[in-house]
A and B are shown apart, each in its own frame.
Chain A
């Protein structure tokens, strides 16, 4: 389809401005731009049709099944959006006097109270704008803690190889040396490998739990004990909290701080680049290092974003918490885990799970044997799923599994959808043996065929230029 710029017709427009009823004032020439902005000129009908056409080119949770592992593409209740659209929340100004935004402050305080209860933490900030930003903030808390004690020798952060890819990046951004440790064959942290790297230079450990292969690490009490014994702190990557919320709490497992992806776990539509909220919770001894907020007037605090962060994401999260309630939150987690295990069990006779054991909210298929037998890769299967109206799972991640497909069905899918998805996987599994060539060229029924991903990465065209 044509870009909106290519549909532009000189002089066409959507609105006719009323006659100016105040005396015109000439703008200083220093403020005037020298070339006209390149804006498309279109009628309202054309704009409406353009965006409706674009809708047909995308796949959202409202279009169909979206088992994109690690991303929790669940359905977000409409009421959360309704509450976030209330004028009392949308028409405020960050510099408004506190007395005029008491309701908004109550939202922040209430959400903080509930989320601290869910995570087992004592304090929280909503300033970080996304998950990785939350990690960055959390590890800075650890750094400030060690600095405040004059403990300068702690230069290393330990990150298991089953962590989210952002964990090592976060540690490096905070100036730490990243120490990778391997997983044991059961997908959990290898305790001997952990013991071998712990020492006086350990600043902390970042644990993604459940980890990227969808496994709840069974050795957590021992892991956090060992790290604390070495003088380090324990960071819980809570991006996968969807699997455990209302059931177990990072604070009870020995973790000192945690980040949550409010946009992912607590009902803000995501995947389009934001806005998100990477709330960071911590134990009381780290609270003094939390970022500055309007309610903490002291000077010298860390500030990672302006004002209170993305406030409307917190409004959605609070609505979600209030509508589900204490029982609903844990039921959502249990259903997420049940759905993942059900789908894994249904697929198991065909594609092979990387770890054949009870999983949490997601699981990983290992297609390396299948590829050897048929020549059909994980990429080919992923592209073929598009023809069935299913969003492909996450591909080639985590890196510790070859030819990986990572599926996260989420709690908002019905048994019928999961049965259908399992049937689609079975059909494709058999097709790979019969007609691998067809799968190499998939998708066949989508808006476009298979793009040249190598060319797109090597010579990307990132913006429209008028030819």
Chain B
């Protein structure tokens, strides 16, 4: 399992990167490995409001459907439409395959740095 040292993480295994004023959000390698092969991704629409700690979409694997939890409160300004046809991108390249971008950010969950996230994963494994 890899942890990208340039990102921050949530306890629910999303990663977040700030691109200026815009938050780029995806799921971690740990998350994709635990979920297994993903077969469907359900994304919000551009303009939707997301709330820190609440679901903004879901991913479906052969096993189950899991909520995607937003690390920040704000407005969805871009979605990765490629994932709709190729959800396996999240399995193959979890840190390259971002899911949504959020602007107008107004609040965030407590985020974990890579070291703290590694500890968190170890406690869940």
| Binding between chains A and B | yes
- Which A positions have Cβ atoms within 8 angstroms of B? 395-397, 399, 453-454, 457-458
Per the bound structure, the CA–CA distance linking A396 and B34 in Å amounts to 12
Q: List 17 A-B contacts (CB under 8 A).
A: A395-B63, A396-B63, A396-B64, A397-B64, A399-B64, A399-B66, A453-B62, A454-B37, A454-B39, A454-B62, A457-B39, A457-B40, A457-B60, A457-B62, A458-B39, A458-B87, A458-B88
CB distance from A455 to the nearest CB of B (A): 9
Per the bound structure, the CA–CA distance linking A397 and B65 in Å amounts to 11
Per the bound structure, the CA–CA distance linking A399 and B40 in Å amounts to 18
The 9 closest A-B pairs by CB, nearest first: A457-B39, A454-B37, A396-B63, A453-B62, A458-B39, A396-B64, A399-B64, A454-B62, A457-B62
Per the bound structure, the CA–CA distance linking A457 and B60 in Å amounts to 10
Per the bound structure, the CA–CA distance linking A212 and B40 in Å amounts to 25
Residues of B within 8 A of A395 (CB): 63
Q: What is the interface residue range for chain B against chain A?
A: 10 to 19
Residues of A within 8 A of B64 (CB): 396-397, 399
CB distance from A327 to the nearest CB of B (A): 40
Q: Which residue, of B62, B66, B88, has the highest number of chain A Cβ atoms within 10 A? A: B62
| Chain B, Cβ-Cβ closest to A460 | B39
Per the bound structure, the CA–CA distance linking A453 and B60 in Å amounts to 13
Q: Which residue, of A397, A399, A454, has the highest number of chain B Cβ atoms within 10 A? A: A454
Per the bound structure, the CA–CA distance linking A93 and B50 in Å amounts to 51
Residues of B within 8 A of A396 (CB): 63-64
| Chain A, Cβ-Cβ closest to B39 | A457
Per the bound structure, the CA–CA distance linking A457 and B37 in Å amounts to 10
Per the bound structure, the CA–CA distance linking A349 and B60 in Å amounts to 34
Per the bound structure, the CA–CA distance linking A396 and B37 in Å amounts to 14
Per the bound structure, the CA–CA distance linking A440 and B19 in Å amounts to 43
Per the bound structure, the CA–CA distance linking A95 and B99 in Å amounts to 53
**Can you name 9 extra interface pairs (CB under 8 A) apart from A397-B64, A454-B37?**
A395-B63, A396-B64, A399-B66, A453-B62, A454-B39, A454-B62, A457-B40, A457-B62, A458-B39
Complex interface residues of chain B between 50 and 72 (CB less than 8 A to chain A): 60, 62-64, 66
| Chain B, Cβ-Cβ closest to A372 | B125
Per the bound structure, the CA–CA distance linking A395 and B88 in Å amounts to 22
Residues of A within 8 A of B60 (CB): 457
CB distance from B26 to the nearest CB of A (A): 20
CB distance from B100 to the nearest CB of A (A): 20
Per the bound structure, the CA–CA distance linking A454 and B60 in Å amounts to 11
| Chain A, Cβ-Cβ closest to B125 | A372
Residues of A within 8 A of B62 (CB): 453-454, 457
CB distance from B35 to the nearest CB of A (A): 11
Q: Which residue, of B60, B63, B64, B66, has the highest number of chain A Cβ atoms within 10 A? A: B63
Residues of B within 8 A of A458 (CB): 39, 87-88
Residues of A within 8 A of B37 (CB): 454
Per the bound structure, the CA–CA distance linking A171 and B99 in Å amounts to 27
Per the bound structure, the CA–CA distance linking A206 and B83 in Å amounts to 34
CB distance from B79 to the nearest CB of A (A): 19
Residues of B within 8 A of A453 (CB): 62
Per the bound structure, the CA–CA distance linking A72 and B96 in Å amounts to 44
Per the bound structure, the CA–CA distance linking A396 and B62 in Å amounts to 10
Residues of B within 8 A of A397 (CB): 64
Complex interface residues of chain B between 80 and 101 (CB less than 8 A to chain A): 87-88
Residues of A within 8 A of B87 (CB): 458
CB distance from A414 to the nearest CB of B (A): 33
CB distance from A172 to the nearest CB of B (A): 11
Per the bound structure, the CA–CA distance linking A397 and B40 in Å amounts to 19
Complex interface residues of chain B between 18 and 64 (CB less than 8 A to chain A): 37, 39-40, 60, 62-64
| Chain A, Cβ-Cβ closest to B86 | A458
CB distance from B68 to the nearest CB of A (A): 15
Per the bound structure, the CA–CA distance linking A200 and B62 in Å amounts to 39
Q: Which residue, of A395, A396, A458, has the highest number of chain B Cβ atoms within 10 A? A: A458
Per the bound structure, the CA–CA distance linking A396 and B66 in Å amounts to 12
CB distance from A77 to the nearest CB of B (A): 35
| Chain B, Cβ-Cβ closest to A459 | B39
CB distance from B64 to the nearest CB of A (A): 6
Residues of A within 8 A of B63 (CB): 395-396
| Chain A, Cβ-Cβ closest to B124 | A402
Per the bound structure, the CA–CA distance linking A399 and B63 in Å amounts to 9
Per the bound structure, the CA–CA distance linking A457 and B91 in Å amounts to 15
Per the bound structure, the CA–CA distance linking A331 and B124 in Å amounts to 42
Per the bound structure, the CA–CA distance linking A457 and B41 in Å amounts to 12
Residues of A within 8 A of B88 (CB): 458
| Chain B, Cβ-Cβ closest to A403 | B63
Per the bound structure, the CA–CA distance linking A401 and B97 in Å amounts to 28
Per the bound structure, the CA–CA distance linking A453 and B62 in Å amounts to 7
Per the bound structure, the CA–CA distance linking A397 and B66 in Å amounts to 12
Residues of A within 8 A of B66 (CB): 399
Per the bound structure, the CA–CA distance linking A399 and B66 in Å amounts to 9
Q: Which residue, of A395, A397, A453, has the highest number of chain B Cβ atoms within 10 A? A: A453
